[in-house]
Amino acid sequence: MKFSVSSFVFKSLTSTLARNSIRKMSSYGSSAGSRIAGKTVLITGASAGIGEATAYELAEASGGDIRLILSARRVENLSKISKDLEAKYPKVKVLPLALDVSKYKEIPQWVKDIPQEWSNVDVLINNA
Ligand SMILES: NC(=O)c1ccc[n+]([C@@H]2O[C@H](COP(=O)([O-])OP(=O)(O)OC[C@H]3O[C@@H](n4cnc5c(N)ncnc54)[C@H](OP(=O)(O)O)[C@@H]3O)[C@@H](O)[C@H]2O)c1
């Protein structure tokens, strides 16, 4: 992990109140946006709320140049969000993956099962 997770989480929390406007404009500055560009980011709890908003925020901030692993229990929500992100940001790559973080004994195997081309995660946003 090369990035500080806390700054991303903090910015996500502070932008919750403006959740409806997140999809229109990123609150990240241009230098933060350029640092996140080209990275692979894993977000837990990405099917709703802050996790979902963070996915949109990062897609916008990176100018669409980002790879997002979106995880949560509701895969149908993740698939819908993935399709929407890829439609809005044609360069964005999204991998929706079912994960229940309460089943923590299963997490090491879940990590091993991440497809090889996605396994080099730069940032973890452990929101769930
Ligand atoms: N909203 C706030 O003002 C606020 C303030 C401080 C802290 N927080 C914390 O920030 C986090 C997110 O809040 P939120 O308002 O965005 O909540 P939310 O709208 O209820 O979303 C929670 C997300 O976490 C996922 N999730 C819940 N249980 C899970 C599990 N066992 N395994 C995997 N994913 C799980 C849900 O997806 P699935 O149901 O599909 O799994 C959903 O995507 C929470 O931990 C909350 O306590 C929120």
- Gyration radius (Cα) of the chain, Å: 13
Terminal Cα distance for the chain, rounded: 18
Tokens coding 119: 């396994």
For the chain, the domain total comes to: 1
**Domain with 119 in it:** 5-126
Atom of ligand 1 nearest to the CA of 48: 43
pTM as predicted: 0.84
Q: Which of 1-10, 44-53, 62-71 has the lowest mean pLDDT?
A: 1-10
Q: Is the shortest distance between the CB of 128 and ligand 1 below 6 Å?
A: yes
- Give the domain CATH number at 118: 3.40.50.720
- pLDDT, tens only, 71-122: 999 999 999 999 999 999 999 999 999 999 999 999 999 999 999 999 999 9
Is the beta carbon of 127 within 6 A of some atom in ligand 1? yes
92-126 burial: b if 16+ Cβ within 10 Å, else e:
bbbbbbebebeeeeeeeebeeebeeeeeebebebe
d(CA 110, CA 1): 18
Q: Which two tokens stand for residue 39?
A: 């990275």
Who has greater pLDDT, 27 or 109? 109
Q: Is the CB of 62 under 6 A from ligand 1?
A: no
